[in-house]
Amino acid sequence: MTRRRAVIVDIVRSPFARGKAGGALSHLHPVDLYARVLQALIQRTGIDPVLIEDVITGCVIQVGEQAANIGRQAVLAAGFPDTVPAISLDRKCGSAQQAMDFAAQGVIAGAYDLVIAGGVEMMSRIPMKSNRMGRDNLGPMLHARYPDGLVGQGISAELIAAKWGLTRGDLDSYALRSHQLAQAARPRVADDITAIGDVTQDEGIRPDTSLEKLASLRAAYHDEAMAVRFPQIDWQITAGNASPVTDGAGAILIAEEQTARRLGLIPRAAITGFAVVGDDPVMMLTGPIPATRKLLARTGLTIDQIDAFEVNEAFASVVLAWAAETGADLNRVNTLGGAIALGHPVGASGVRLTANLLRTLEETGGRYGVQTMCESGGMANATLLERI
């Protein structure tokens, strides 16, 4: 029996816009934004949507306009046949990447032949933590396990900077690199972006930023109680070396390889390896380190055999600590810019990482690419692509 392979046929995303009032996409309902991306994916590939067996959607803040299975609402809004089902999932920042992994795993297992994975987050309209409604979402047993309390991601990013000895200069230099690479890559990633009205480009890139401007920003997470609890923190995380809140959506058409070829679709890459891990929920953002190691161990590859990496730039400290621990060459990491410049619509960022990773492999002729994403609660996904 021929082994089934899950392949990426095409990827489309919206421009990423500032996730606050007045952002370029903030006037749109999140269902409509995701629906327009789904329509663009169908138009680009020419596939009959009746053949789509599921739409797996990442979305983190599933409340208000993003509640009640936004994936299904967007499928219907996009005009797909009502026979096309959908599901929405939340693995925090890794939600869209997890959607892709589940879709590919379903193809490999024989559950699907043609499936869409995607994600959406409208942070201008549905702010972070709004789904908690001001309530304690942890419960007494979890509080008992961590009596000193869990911390926010900004504190975790500070703890990582302290543990790995990263200076403010290190963090700001990395942030500047992100903006410079993203600006240079604008024309190269344009084919991955579908215009939403008159919005055609990512809004967050700052081509005029500099080390001096970045150095002028104040620490974003300084807290007296946390300073007592964690005296090792030097308070170096700023709005400049962290990812901004963002609006955006994206979608990937994934197929069983022989089905794709029978339908006249051209596979671009196979999704050939998966890993998901849990890690210390206080350090929280270190998960990409064990996730990458687990992925490489499962696939029998070494770090030097990977031609390109996408490591989500939630904070500069996350990527720099990951590189220090894995030994990866930073010249192969986020070469088209990352979330510090492009933004991080939490439920959709995984699609952007995949698009940039595949674009890099195709431009360089590389074979293997790895993407990995830190996630709230101390988790991470890592996925291996193999260019076809």
Compute the distance between CA of residue 132 and CA of residue 153 in angstroms, rounded to an integer.
16
Compute the distance between CA of residue 301 and CA of residue 228 in angstroms, rounded to an integer.
43
Locate tokens 């009502």: which residue? Answer: 82
Q: Cβ atoms within 10 A of the Cβ of 227, count? A: 13
Can you point out the beta strands (E) in 123-268? Answer: 246-256
Q: Cβ atoms within 10 A of the Cβ of 210, count? A: 12
Q: Which of 27, 59, 93, 143 is catalytic?
A: 93
Residue 59 a catalytic site member: no
The dihedral built from the CA positions of residue 216, 158, 21 and 100, taken in this order, carries a sign that is positive
Asked if residue 151 lies in contact with residue 228, where contact means CB atoms within 8 angstroms, the answer is no
Helices (H) and strands (E) in the chain, counts: 13, 10
Q: Cβ atoms within 10 A of the Cβ of 110, count? A: 9
Angle between helices 316-326 and 153-163 (to 10 degrees): 40
Which contiguous run of DSSP H or E holds residue 58? strand 55-58
Classify residue 28 as exposed, middle or buried by CB count within 10 Å of its CB (0-12, 13-18, 19+). buried
Angle (nearest 5°) at CA 20 between 150 and 174: 65
Asked if residue 305 lies in contact with residue 368, where contact means CB atoms within 8 angstroms, the answer is yes
Compute the distance between CA of residue 124 and CA of residue 3 in angstroms, rounded to an integer.
44
Tokens of 46: 């020419």
Can you point out the beta strands (E) in 230-378? Answer: 246-256, 269-278, 308-311, 368-375
Q: For residue 87, list its beta bridge partners.
A: 56
What residues are labeled active site? 93, 344, 374
